[in-house]
Structure 1
Amino acid sequence: MTTSPEAAPPTAAPYGTPDAPRIAVHGEAHLECDPDLARIDVTVLARGKDRRTALDDLTRRNTTVLDLIKTYGQAVERLETGALSLTPELKEKGRGERIHAYHGRVHITAELTDFTALGELTTRLADLDLTRVDGPWWSLRPDSPAHKQARQQAVHEAVQRAKEYAEALGTTLAALVELADIDAEAPQPLHHAAAGSRMRSMAAAVEDTAAPLDLEPQRQSVYAQVNARFTMRPPRL
């Protein structure tokens, strides 16, 4: 007695069949929520007649800024030093290349979670000599629950839309065939919440002790989009 080879599984029809019609829908969600983080960039400047004087002045000012930021403890989640430069300034007149002065610059980035402390720190930094503050830039954490909520809402909208189409035909959904992020099929430009966060710049030109700035956090936009395909029970047309 010979055994017959196993039958190959039936191939799913790409566009459905009269016995299992398909519905393809799109679901999306757009949420507005409060930011988790605020980032500021601090630029410390120094100037001296000779290289050593400029470097010593830059070191002193840089230490002052770092020490001030560190006094805010756990309110500061991240503190980093970026580019450092010490550039000679040549005299415009005269023969030969004679150096008139040296200019020093160092960039510092701080990320805070306490927005009350942010306003006070920003003001105190802007009150320092030869110190520039740019920001804040508001953002959400990558693992913020808002991202999950947006994705779930997008799925719920897709399911609801498919149910409404089936209902219009006098039938109901039978099964989910496919659920995909938009980016999984055709990459789209990402909608980063921070992209809409405009920069504010403050030069250090404050007399005496300035009152803390009242910084209102900028609401963040979270987007999610999905494509979904379902089969439905054959309608009676």
Structure 2
Amino acid sequence: MTNEAAPYGTPETPRVAVRGEARLEVDPEIARIGVTVSARGKDRRAALEDLTGRNGQVLDLIKSYGDAVEKLETGAFSISPELTSHGRSERVRAYHGRVRVTAVIADFTVLGELVTRLADLDLTHVDGPWWALRPDSPAHADARRQAVLEAVQRAREYAGALGADLAALVELADIGAESPVAYRGAQPPGAARAGAAGAPAPALDLEPQRQTVYAQVNARFTMTPPKL
């Protein structure tokens, strides 16, 4: 004989299985922007030197915002030839360089100014912002707690409908809590082709997009015998 409880309960200790869910709308904590720096030269060396200079200008500008920038990373880099037909053969007409930089901004008060200044640089394309929560955001824990509380309340209501009370928790299973990693702003900045001389471009007014945090749990309880 075994001491294992019956998997679906007994008339003396019936079980109730419920699902608890929670969906929270919270303000974002960070914003990601992508910056693509381009360059062109008649030969490979000239393209590399131009790209190095423009990339350094972009990095220096982003770093000048200090602690407002939470993370700065360089991604893809490429140098490729532009071919042109010359009789029956092809010749290299020029070389094109490109490098991708990603920045995570924690201070939204400087975000509009930063993206405008970046977009005002020559041969620089800005994407974003993409709003997000940090992986360790308290909002995730809040959603999980609310999902558990809803599961308990739902189970108590089912038991109460039968004239019974909850007796014990048998199982609590986390079936996922997630938040969209990033949301695109309503109107991301575009590419800057020619830097304007004189006064700097006005800062964009960017409204952070609220994030949805979702949590879900399955719970099983035993309850007292119902009064049928």
TM-score by length of 2: 0.93
Match for 2:73: what amino acid? E
Q: Verify the 8 A CA contact 2:38 2:97 in the aligned structure 1.
A: yes
User: What does residue 77 of structure 2 align with?
Assistant: 84
Name the CA distance, whole Å, in 2 between partners of 1:31 and 1:124: 34
Paired residue total: 224
Partner residue, 1:101? 94
CA deviations 1:143-179 (Å, max 9, x no partner) are 1010000000000000000110111111111000000
The runs of 4+ residues in structure 1 deviating greater than 3 Å are 195-199, 205-208
| Greater strand share, structure number | 2
Aligned to 2:192: 204
- Which residue is 2:218 aligned to? 227
Counterpart Cα distance in 2 of 1:165 and 1:93:
81
C-alpha distance in 2 between matches for 1:200 and 1:23: 49
Q: Take 1:76 and 1:182, find their aligned partners in 2: how far apart are those partners? A: 34
**Superposed displacement of residue 191, structure 1:** 4.5
1:118 Cα deviation from its structure 2 partner: 1.1
User: How many angstroms apart in 2 are the aligned matches of 1:204 and 1:211?
Assistant: 14
Q: Judge conservation of contact 1:194–1:220 (CA < 8 Å) in 2.
A: no
Post-superposition offset of 1:92: 3.2
Q: Paired residue for 2:64? A: 71
Equivalent AA in structure 2 for residue 229 of structure 1:
R
Number of the residue aligned with 1:4: none
Letter in 1 for 2:219: A
1:215 — aligned with what? 206
Question: Percent of aligned pairs with the same residue?
Answer: 68
1:192 deviates by 3.5
Amino acid at match of 1:235: P
With 19-28 and 207-216 compared, the bigger mean Cα shift is at 207-216
Residue 53 of structure 1: SS of its match in structure 2?
Answer: helix
Matches within 5 A, 1:124-203: 124-183=117-176, 191-197=178-184, 200-203=188-191
**Alignment-derived partner of residue 52 in structure 1:** 45
SS of 2:206's equivalent in the other structure is coil
Task: Name the aligned partner's letter for residue 5 of structure 2.
Answer: A
Could you say which structure has the larger radius of gyration? 1
> For structure 2, which runs of at least 5 residues remain unmatched after alignment?
none
